[in-house]
Amino acid sequence: MLSLAQNGVVVLLVVVAALALFLAIDKVWPWDKRHPHNDVTGWQLGILGTTYAVILGFMLYAVWTEFDTATQNVEMEANSLTNLYRLAEGLPEASRIEVQKLARTYAEQVIQNDWPEMEQGRTPVGSVGLASKMQRVLISVPDASKSAVLAQDHAMTELSTMTTCRRTRLLENALSLPTVLWFVLIMGGVLVIISSCMFGSQNRFLHGVQVVFFSLLVALALLATADINRPFRGSVRVGNDAFVRALENMR
């Protein structure tokens, strides 16, 4: 994913390319010869612009919804881990020590390894073994009091929720918008920018400013979609703050 500086360079290149296209069209096809066709180009620009705005708005809403879902899923995973740590207080001494130690190690593993690997587009595997170890410890809790059995049952529920959230997190890290949708978004942006350049206006300066603003808006919207589309990468991403807080609470 691109950094903020790289995003700025991409936006600048798109605006410069749109302005260069406008100047090239104006030189080859002067405004006075385009002006009689404004009723056609204006209708074309209106239809293309409206259709593209609907598609782009829907895509941006979809990726933002997925980003928000990923944030809530991370919070739920960290909360389940914290609840598991606290429920271990009701287990026999040996099991309690082992479960709480594994819970702290899990949080440290997620912070130190999972997040850096997800930011690089890789699938983390280290925390899988820790979740399995916690499950084995909980299953092998020796016969104890009724309260210990109740704590064991609730701890297994929280562990199940945590592992489900972890699988969801890894899935969200791997998924992205299909290539065909990116083709539609990029080609739609190119078409509407070309259509805006074809409009015939006597005031070339004002027309050029409008083309710049239009291309700027399209570039910003596409970059925002691309950045949010990968919730654990890029300049806008889901952080590991929930696990940092969980680790602080466990300590």
Write 200-203 long-range contacts (CB < 8 A, 24+): 200/31, 200/32, 200/33, 200/34, 200/35, 200/36, 200/37, 200/38, 200/41, 201/31, 201/35, 202/31, 202/32, 202/35
Nearest-Å Rg of the Cα atoms of the chain is 27
- Quote the percentage of the chain above a pLDDT of 90: 53
| Side chain identity at residue 44, one-letter code | Q
Amino acid at 154: H
Q: What is the DSSP letter of 35?
A: G
pLDDT of 144 reads: 65
Length of the chain: 251
Read off the pLDDT of residues 12-42 as tens digits, 9 standing for 90 and up. Answer: 999 999 999 988 988 888 867 777 777 777 7
- Helix, strand, coil share (%) of the chain residues, nearest 5: 85, 0, 15
- Does residue 213 have a pLDDT over 70? yes
Which single residue is written with the structure tokens 């960290």?
78
d(C-alpha 4, C-alpha 191), whole Å = 26
pLDDT surpasses 80 at 169: yes
Provide the pLDDT for residue 39.
75
In sequence order, which residues have a C-beta less than 8 Å from that of residue 201 and are 6 or more positions away? 31, 35, 207
Neighbours of 129 (CB within 10 A): 12
Q: Which residues contact 138 (CB under 8 A, 6 or more apart)?
A: 95, 99, 152, 155, 156, 159
Predicted pLDDT of residue 140 = 85
Look over the chain and give the mean of its residue pLDDT values, rounded to a whole number.
Answer: 89
Q: Is residue 66 pLDDT above 90, yes or no?
A: yes
Task: Tell which residue, 165, 159, 171, 109, has the closest CA to residue 131.
Answer: 159
What six digits make up the tokens of 79? 């909360």
What is the rounded end-to-end Cα distance, in angstroms, of the chain? 34
DSSP string, 76-128: HHHHHHHHHHHHGGGS-HHHHHHHHHHHHHHHHHIIIIIHHHHHTT----HHH
